[in-house]
């Protein structure tokens, strides 16, 4: 099959931004892999669970994909964006073996269950305080879903709490660029400005101080690796700091918003959680499947190959559609139903294979803590108006979630 003969996916429209799942179903029915001009100037979309999972595990599909993506939004040549691209390209998220494994080995011990367990008591107290303070009409995103993940990852990195609002703004600008299917030049410039401000904070303030006062936080772990020669350059060090701060915040805030909105939109499921708060862990896994905070990821073909019967050229962009895979009836029975006691949710929302999200356990721990606290202390929680979507097709989430306590 040639590109001209390939099945073409429909465009991203307002209906897709509001609810992409009907479109995903239609795409799965059209074919396992579709071509779309709507994504980054042209990309192959993998629509079905088995193919998405296989692509995430395929070493012939490279995570190194930032160059053409960043430069496609440029207007004044490469020099304008060299600082941004240099940092962006060295983040662990966009690296292949052996660099990816080297950096992952440095950071992974901090995200193991035994290490995270040391935060559990602090997190439970912090969440309970914030939940008990909720009263009257309020915006869940402003009161819980945004500030809590910011403080959690900030604590892990020893970032000054006074800077939480600033780094949330930095992350917002970066998320808008990364999440745009066709990034605009202005979005790119805002993302570059925020990324450079973020890394300047690390370079000029936090890293020099932490070098003199090493602790058990993530930044100290990176500095110790640098001293041992495991971090290859100051650029690589800064890129990991920025990646951790961004990723630790973005996914969790969207999971919290999407998850609570889904539960309150299905009152029977919310009542079940309130009756059985011990279901919080399974509920989080089901909410990840039902409305993933990350809708796709990207890979580049490292050689000419055949995927799903389609000839793919070296350098072609492949987008495994995680949101679509999570609703595939070939993998999940009754996939459009929210069932927090589902036996095996099995979401691909954190990826699969070598690049599975390093902070998955932390995100789930935070979300479980919030859902348990709300179910126990605020069982009368209700929607209080129309939620406001963030209109980001990749990082699907809410800008506002108005609620009240009955």
Indicate if the pLDDT at residue 70 is higher than 80: no
Percentage, residues of the chain above pLDDT 70: 94
Cα separation of the two ends of the chain: 58
Question: Exposed, middle or buried: residue 63 (CB in 10 Å: 0-12, 13-18, 19+)?
Answer: buried
- What's the pLDDT band for 76 if we cut at 50, 70, 90? low
Domain-wise residue ranges, the chain: 3-405
Residue with tokens 């990082």: 395
Is 1.10.510.10 the CATH classification of the domain at 3-405? no
Indicate if the pLDDT at residue 123 is higher than 60: yes
CA 3/CA 24 separation, integer angstroms? 21
- What's the pLDDT band for 83 if we cut at 50, 70, 90? confident
Six-digit token pair at 266?
Answer: 């299905």
Query: Cβ atoms within 10 A of the Cβ of 165, count?
Result: 11
Residue 398: partners with Cβ closer than 8 Å, 6 or more residues away = 141, 145, 254, 257, 258, 261, 387, 388, 389, 390
Q: What is the pLDDT of residue 4?
A: 44
Tell me the per-residue pLDDT of 345-363, one tens digit each, with 9 for 90 and over: 889 999 999 999 999 999 9
Element (H, E) at 404: strand 402-405
- Beta-sheet pairing, 43-46 with 317-320: parallel
Indicate if the pLDDT at residue 37 is higher than 50: yes
Bond before 339 cis per omega within 30 degrees: no
**What average pLDDT does this structure show over 183-190?**
86
Q: What is the pLDDT of residue 22?
A: 96
**What average pLDDT does this structure show over 162-181?**
94
CA distances from 348 to 46, 128, 310, 378 (A): 13, 29, 23, 30
**What average pLDDT does this structure show over 97-113?**
94
CA 349/CA 295 separation, integer angstroms? 8
Question: Exposed, middle or buried: residue 44 (CB in 10 Å: 0-12, 13-18, 19+)?
Answer: buried
**What average pLDDT does this structure show over 197-214?**
96
C-alpha torsion sign, points 324, 329, 333, 334: positive
Is residue 20 within 8 Å of residue 321, measured between CB atoms?
A: no
């Amino acid at each position: 099959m040639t590109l001209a003969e390939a099945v073409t996916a429909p465009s991203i429209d307002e209906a897709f931004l509001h609810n992409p799942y009907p479109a995903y179903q239609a795409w799965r029915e059209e074919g396992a892999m579709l071509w779309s001009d709507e994504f980054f100037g042209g990309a192959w979309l993998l629509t079905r669970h088995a193919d998405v999972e296989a692509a995430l595990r395929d070493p012939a599909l490279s995570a190194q994909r930032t160059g053409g993506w960043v430069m496609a939004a440029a207007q004044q040549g490469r020099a304008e964006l060299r600082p941004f691209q240099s940092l962006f390209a060295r983040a662990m998220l966009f690296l292949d073996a052996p660099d990816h494994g080297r950096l992952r080995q440095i950071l992974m011990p901090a995200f193991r269950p035994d290490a995270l367990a040391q935060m559990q008591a602090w997190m439970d107290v912090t969440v309970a305080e914030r939940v008990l303070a909720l009263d009257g009409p309020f915006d869940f995103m402003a009161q819980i879903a945004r500030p809590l993940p910011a403080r959690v990852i900030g604590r892990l990195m020893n970032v000054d709490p006074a800077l939480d609002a600033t780094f949330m703004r930095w992350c917002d600008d970066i998320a808008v660029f990364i999440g745009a299917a066709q990034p605009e030049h202005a979005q790119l410039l805002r993302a570059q400005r925020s990324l450079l401000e973020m890394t300047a904070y690390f370079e000029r303030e936090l890293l020099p101080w932490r070098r003199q006062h090493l602790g058990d936080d993530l930044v100290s772990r990176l500095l110790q690796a640098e001293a041992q020669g495991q971090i290859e350059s100051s650029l690589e060090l800064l890129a990991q700091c920025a990646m951790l701060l961004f990723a630790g915040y973005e996914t969790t805030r969207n999971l919290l918003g999407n998850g609570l909105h889904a539960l309150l939109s299905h009152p029977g499921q919310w009542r079940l959680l309130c009756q059985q708060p011990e279901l919080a862990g399974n509920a989080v896994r089901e909410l990840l499947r039902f409305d993933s905070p990350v809708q796709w990821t990207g890979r580049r073909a490292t050689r000419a190959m055949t995927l799903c019967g389609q000839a793919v050229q070296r350098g072609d962009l492949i987008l495994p559609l995680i949101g679509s895979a999570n609703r595939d009836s070939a993998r999940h029975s009754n996939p459009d139903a929210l069932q927090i006691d589902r036996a095996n949710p099995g979401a691909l929302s954190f990826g699969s294979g070598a690049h599975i999200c390093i902070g998955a356990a932390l995100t789930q721990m935070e979300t479980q803590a919030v859902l348990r606290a709300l179910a126990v202390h605020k069982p009368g929680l209700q929607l209080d108006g129309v939620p406001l979507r963030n209109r980001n097709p990749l990082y699907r989430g809410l800008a506002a979630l108005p609620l009240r306590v009955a």
